[in-house]
Structure 1
């Protein structure tokens, strides 16, 4: 029997809407009734996950409990950075699909051959820290942006949040991905849900693992 999915969203709104569309597209269905029932809290007012982690965890915990009380049976959150606050979400007592763990597993099999030794990550500082721990625990070395490129990346993320997915932002994200490949990345993780709104697999010369796509697939498996 299918399960009701609760989505903690709004970080940011465009990425959440794209994530919901991915779940719909990835769910095997012959008609309306075959799709997953989803209860989504798209809350753009969640405090900044990098600057106010304690406040963010409190709000996310409240969101999780409201989703549970509304009928959700499984929880997911299409925001990599906010997984640092997963402890607050888990207090709701529901299964929580771990986006970082799922994406790490996908990255390790992305080449179709031996697991990559170096994995590039396009993520916020908080998301990067989560992927560093996850990848290192699996024996992989993370390749990250350095210097001004880190600020450029955050500029691209905030461009998406204000509705700018134009050519300039797309070109910068392609350049940043290429920088990771040049530094030795055998796979690149789109470790921020804004990244795939600017970057496609065709834009990168090595496999691109879209964390939002991976999470959507995991939700379809868990709830169908």
Structure 2
């Protein structure tokens, strides 16, 4: 099994879930005492969050590309960026490494398409819900994305940054998220993407009748699949992605 490199810290609560899922799924797949060969570099989320607020996406891209290069030097044979929002700069990161970059949006789109869905809701940070990058990638798979109305987008964003990324889980927020999922379903969403890696810490399949796509789990499953594949079976870069 190839060594998986993880760029964590955005936030560490979800990064810990990545590590738990990575090793749990590996043991399910291989049995016994197997766990996933991996290395992780944890960036300071305070720095990344400040860059997000300042609209300094290129600065964030440089910082995360540096983290990706350090993983490659440490022996990583795949790189996983443990966040949805920062996939806004995924191509910039992928261009700076020689090993494959495992894309969370690709992993999610593949599963949504396999489920036969063509219209899904999206919950995430305001950068994810309001930016074009997530919807554009999903559109490549023939999937339309619906996002909540502005007040609900603000609520979701505030819960993520004010609660989930600081380790707070509030039942009142869970109820609000369930309500918002229901509203998206009423607008025609066949399922809802939990497009922030902290959201599965708050709600899950038992909370709503609407199918949910847990991007954290889907990302890890895809990484484990690729890491355990035969040599040479690596994800194909998108046409716009170049590598050194």
TM over 0.5: yes
Give the counterpart of 2:145 among 142, 146, 153. Answer: 142
Given that 2:25 and 2:224 are in contact with CA atoms closer than 8 Å, whether structure 1 keeps it comes out as yes
Assess if the C-alpha contact under 8 Å between 1:173 and 1:195 holds in 2. Answer: no
**Residue equivalent to 1:9:** 8
Greater than 4 Å deviation, 4+ residue runs: none
Match of 2:236 in 1: none
Secondary structure, counterpart of 1:47 in structure 2: helix
Counterparts of 1:76 and 1:144, CA distance in 2: 25
CA–CA separation in structure 1 for the residues paired with 2:187 and 2:101: 34
For structure 2, the residue ranges without an aligned partner over 5 or more in a row are 229-244
In structure 2, the residue matched to 1:125 is: 126
The 5-angstrom pairing of residues 70-149 of structure 1 reads 70-90=74-94, 91-110=96-115, 115-128=116-129, 129-149=132-152
Give the alignment of 1:131-170 within 5 angstroms: 131-158=134-161, 159-170=163-174
Q: Deviations over 1:7-26 (max 9, x none)?
A: 01111110110111111111
> Which moved further from structure 2: 5-14 or 85-94?
85-94
Measure, in 2, the Cα distance between the counterparts of 1:203 and 1:169. Answer: 12
Q: How big is the alpha-carbon RMSD for the aligned residues of Structure 1 and Structure 2?
A: 1.5
Greater mean alpha carbon deviation, residues 161-170 or residues 99-108: 161-170
Structure 1: 5+ residue runs without aligned partners?
A: none
Q: Following TM superposition, by how much is the alpha carbon of 1:156 offset from its aligned partner in structure 2, in angstroms? A: 1.4
TM-score (normalizing by structure 1): 0.91
**Partner residue of 1:207 out of 206, 211, 230:** 211
Please say if residues 123 and 148 of structure 2, whose CA atoms lie closer than 8 Å, have aligned partners that are also in contact. Answer: yes
State the secondary structure of the residue aligned to 2:213. Answer: strand
Contact 2:4 2:223 in 1 (8 A): yes
Aligned to 2:233: none
- Residues 1:30 and 2:31 are matched in the alignment: yes
1:59 aligns with 2:63: yes
TM-score, length-scaled by structure 2: 0.84
Q: 1:218 deviation in Å? A: 0.8
Q: What is the CA–CA distance in structure 2 between the aligned matches of 1:43 and 1:177, rounded to whole Å? A: 31
